[in-house]
């Protein structure tokens, strides 16, 4: 990584009062080349140039900041659990030196990274705001400048004590967000939890009563397990489709390399009325595999057994994910399976809200 201080006020402000911007890659930093958009360098200077286009009063309200750029920029579509681990450990290493953090990330898996960071940085006592853009920084009509400005503003609010996403004027809980649109500027949503904050005119308003900050006690209790243990496909994600059969489900779950699975069921938690499907699930659970279920619907919650079509899932050892997003449920499975916990501890912690994810 390369660190480049670059803020008009940075030199005159103690480090502990600055924001650290960690640039990992993504569309926001891409530039047009002969063969199309490709990662571009010099992001520190380019970011400062963009922020200098803001009205003077808005420039003056920005917090001082420094920038770290990853030597190898990450295409977020190629991100892995090791990517999540690297970012969390970099924040941990710099934690006491900065008042808050902005993580600049590609949008494709931005919500996955945010959810994972929330579990790794439990007990966080300062802001970590993840952002990016749908269009490159220098493109006409880009959303990048607005997102950078908002992320910096919220990263300077000490009352915000969790991982959040700032995008298109909205501050979302990191463990509650999904990417809902592949092209629109308002690409992210929080389907089952209200906004943590938003931009209103030139003001950036944080809704304190919706945040985790009021609940924090004592020093951060970060959990930074070795994600290499869940980086080779040990957790699978299976979304139901009409006609799914037991042999297809078994092909995934009987593999000895699989340690856990996220099932996405219909409606409130239904699956086809076939006993052999439940048999496969019960056998996998009996082998010590961590199985959890959420709904295919982006809004609402699962209630295993509410309908006859979902009866037997709990008996088969499947854990209800309530109203969790796929990102939050999957990264939680990864986080728990990367730790030396008993199966019962893993199951209990999955059913417990750790960072406001359920």
CB of 34 closer than 8 Å to CB of 139: no
Place 5 in a pLDDT band, splitting at 50, 70 and 90.
Answer: very low
Residues 6+ apart with CB under 8 A from 331: 84, 112, 115, 116, 119
If you average pLDDT over residues 74-94, what whole number do you get?
Answer: 95
Catalytic residues: 27
Backbone angle region of 25, left / alpha / beta, with phi > 0 → left and psi within -120 to 50 → alpha: left
If you average pLDDT over residues 335-340, what whole number do you get?
Answer: 98
Place 16 in a pLDDT band, splitting at 50, 70 and 90.
Answer: confident
Chain-centroid distance, C-alpha 118: 7
User: For 20-57, how does the pLDDT look when each residue is reduced to its tens digit (9 = 90+)?
Assistant: 999 999 999 988 777 777 777 789 999 999 999 999 99
Q: Which among 313, 351, 293 is positioned nearest to 343, based on CA atoms?
A: 351
Six token digits for residue 57: 């009063």
If you average pLDDT over residues 98-120, what whole number do you get?
Answer: 98
Q: Which among 28, 42, 330, 3 is positioned nearest to 151, based on CA atoms?
A: 28
The residue that leads in pLDDT, 308 or 2, is 308
At 1 the pLDDT is 60
Q: Which among 160, 163, 191, 157 is positioned nearest to 177, based on CA atoms?
A: 191
Place 221 in a pLDDT band, splitting at 50, 70 and 90.
Answer: confident
C-alpha–C-alpha distance, residues 173 and 171, integer Å = 7
Ranges 80-84, 167-171, 212-216, 330-334: which has the least confidence = 212-216
In percent, how much of the chain has pLDDT > 70? 94
At 236 the pLDDT is 98
On the question of pLDDT at 8 being above 60, the answer is no
If you average pLDDT over residues 178-203, what whole number do you get?
Answer: 96
On the question of pLDDT at 158 being above 60, the answer is yes
Q: Which long-range contacts (CB under 8 A, 24 or more apart) does 234-238 make?
A: 234/258, 234/259, 234/260, 234/337, 235/259, 235/260, 235/261, 235/262, 235/330, 235/333, 235/334, 235/337, 236/260, 236/261, 236/262, 237/261, 237/262, 237/264, 237/326, 237/330, 238/262, 238/263, 238/264
C-alpha–C-alpha distance, residues 126 and 155, integer Å = 8
Q: What is the pTM of this model?
A: 0.94
Q: Which residue, chain included where needed, has tokens 């463990």? A: 175
The rounded mean pLDDT for the chain is 93
User: For 274-327, how does the pLDDT look when each residue is reduced to its tens digit (9 = 90+)?
Assistant: 899 999 999 999 999 999 999 999 999 999 877 766 779 999 999 999 999 999
């Amino acid at each position: 990584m390369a660190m480049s201080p670059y803020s008009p006020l940075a030199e005159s402000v103690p480090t502990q009062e600055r924001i650290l911007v960690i640039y990992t890659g993504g569309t926001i930093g891409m530039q047009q080349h002969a063969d199309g958009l490709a990662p571009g360098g010099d992001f520190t200077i380019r970011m400062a140039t963009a922020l200098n286009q803001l009205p003077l009063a808005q420039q003056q309200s920005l917090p001082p900041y420094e920038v770290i750029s990853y030597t190898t920029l990450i295409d977020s579509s190629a991100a892995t659990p090791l990517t999540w681990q690297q970012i969390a450990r970099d924040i941990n290493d710099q934690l006491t030196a900065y008042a808050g953090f902005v993580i600049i990330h590609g949008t494709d898996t931005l919500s996955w990274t945010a959810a994972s960071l929330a579990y790794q940085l439990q007990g966080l006592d300062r802001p970590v705001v993840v952002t990016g853009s749908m269009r490159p920084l220098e493109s006409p009509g880009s959303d990048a400048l607005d997102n950078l400005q908002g992320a910096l503003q919220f990263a300077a609010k000490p009352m915000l004590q969790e991982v959040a996403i700032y995008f298109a004027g909205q501050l979302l809980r990191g463990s509650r967000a999904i990417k809902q649109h592949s092209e629109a500027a308002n690409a992210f949503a929080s389907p089952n939890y209200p906004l943590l904050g938003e931009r209103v005119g030139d003001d950036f308003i944080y809704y304190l009563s919706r945040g985790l900050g009021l609940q924090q006690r004592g020093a951060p209790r970060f959990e930074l397990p070795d994600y290499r243990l869940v980086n080779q496909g040990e957790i699978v994600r299976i979304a139901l489709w009409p006609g799914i059969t037991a042999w297809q489900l078994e092909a995934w779950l009987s593999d000895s390399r699989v340690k856990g699975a996220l099932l996405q069921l219909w409606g409130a938690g239904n699956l086809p009325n076939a006993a052999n499907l439940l048999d496969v699930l019960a056998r996998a659970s009996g082998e010590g595999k961590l199985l959890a279920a959420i709904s295919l619907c982006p809004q609402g919650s699962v209630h295993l057994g509410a309908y006859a079509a979902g009866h037997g899932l709990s008996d088969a050892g499947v854990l209800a994910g309530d109203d969790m997003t796929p990102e939050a449920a999957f990264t939680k499975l990864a986080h728990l399976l990367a730790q030396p916990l008993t199966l019962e501890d893993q199951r209990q912690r999955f059913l417990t809200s750790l960072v406001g994810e359920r």
